[in-house]
Amino acid sequence: MSSLDGMRTRAVHGGRQDLGDLGVHAPPIDLSTTYPIPDHALGGEALGAWAEGAADAASPVYARLHNPTVARFERALAELEGTDDSVAFASGMAAVTAVVQAACLMADKRHVVAVRPLYGGTDHLLVTGLLGTETSYVRADEVASAVRPDTGLVVLETPANPNLDLVDIAGVVRQAGDVPVLVDNTFATPVLQNPAAHGAAYVLHSGTKYLGGHGDVLGGVVACAARLAAPLRQVRILTGAVLHPLGGYLLHRGLATLPLRVEAAQRTAAELAARLEAHPAVLRVRYPGLNREEDVRGVLGAQLRGTGAMLAFEPAGDPNIVVGKLGLITPAVSLGSVDTLIEHPAALTHRLVGPEARQASGVPESLLRLSAGLEDVDDLWSDLDQALRAA
């Protein structure tokens, strides 16, 4: 199932093409906020180019316009996603916001169609209408009937947060017609899924999760065609939602080990899912491929190259007690770190979505979401098993 096609090589070498000329081995971290401009005519041309969304110009001019350390990460991520370009932001939510601003507000199309479930923050941003948009929530097979002349964006996530629902990207893209589709690829990572190859216009990552991979950097990124990247850069300059160069450095470094980390965590998640499925104190496990009949469109294999490192399950006992009894596994929101994390979506990440919308989108109240880390699987299992029995 795992056809990585040089993915590990690209992950290690991407975005490092200029290092040889610079005579360095590690990418330099450029912390300049401003750059000397002895020739103001040339500097002005550069400023004008950035303002129009250019990916490169003679001088960065000012750090809100461009940063070379961040740009290396962007080139590397675009290579892994198979897109022309990518644009990095201060966080995943800043990236979601920028796509809505570029696709809806700049195009004066203020309607969004969203397939639930989504990451709780994205869901809440769209529900509040904070950005001046109106959102219709639908199932993946209802997108065509929800699209209107003023629809600027279709939003989906697969595997979805938090219940691991699988969505056929090409099927939604067909229904969306001319409307660009944003796929949040945070759970799958570019190692397991490349949404642009299935027609997604925007591929979004919360870099905070697997890309950084060590729980110590906040960032977001959108991979897309050059013509869509330019408006995103314009938005980034205007709103100031820039990624700090140190964050750019850490995300770039994270990419080098991304395939190895995802493959290792995936093996652990698959093993835990199988053991949880057989546990008497577990009602139901959600993990791609575990119940083949749920994947009616055959997403696993054709679109998703692996089962991934995220799983969810409903304990028979109180989920809060299960979480409280754990000793090794970290009870915390976020995911994709070196250590295994667990959280209760109804209490935390999907609290603001509300009980009705959670129920309608297949997120049971007792569901626990687990992000497999890099520990020994038997140690993780002992911890889970004793907590499940205690609850």
Residues that bind ligand PLP (CB under 6 A): 91-93, 119, 121-122, 157, 161, 184, 186, 206, 208-209, 218, 220
Residue whose entry in the numeric block shows the structure tokens 């000012």: 62
Q: 31, 32, 27: which is closest to 72 by C-alpha?
A: 27
- 119 or 313: whose CB is closer to ligand PLP? 119
Closest CB 257 distance from ligand PLP, rounded Å: 19
Q: Find the angle CA(254)-CA(307)-CA(223) to the nearest 5 degrees.
A: 45
Residue 183, φ and ψ in degrees, nearest 5: -115, 120
Closest CB 19 distance from ligand PLP, rounded Å: 27
How many other CB atoms are found less than 10 A from the CB of residue 291? 12
Non-local (6+) Cβ contacts of 14 within 8 A are 75, 76, 77, 79, 80, 255
CA pair distance 231, 244, nearest whole angstrom: 20
What amino acid positions are annotated as catalytic residues? 64, 119, 184, 209
Residue whose entry in the numeric block shows the structure tokens 């550069």: 46
- 71 or 98: whose CB is closer to ligand PLP? 98
Closest CB 39 distance from ligand PLP, rounded Å: 39
- 135 or 206: whose CB is closer to ligand PLP? 206
Closest CB 336 distance from ligand PLP, rounded Å: 8
How many other CB atoms are found less than 10 A from the CB of residue 359? 12
Closest CB 90 distance from ligand PLP, rounded Å: 8
Closest CB 315 distance from ligand PLP, rounded Å: 22
The per-residue b/e assignment along 313-348, b for 16 or more CB within 10 angstroms, e otherwise, is bbbebebeebbebbebbebeeebbbbbbbbbbbbee
Nearest-CB residue to ligand PLP? Answer: 92
Residue whose entry in the numeric block shows the structure tokens 């007792």: 366
- 220 or 245: whose CB is closer to ligand PLP? 220
For the chain, the C-alpha Rg in angstroms (whole number) is 21
- 113 or 335: whose CB is closer to ligand PLP? 335
Helix (H) / strand (E) containing 71: helix 68-81
- 205 or 325: whose CB is closer to ligand PLP? 205
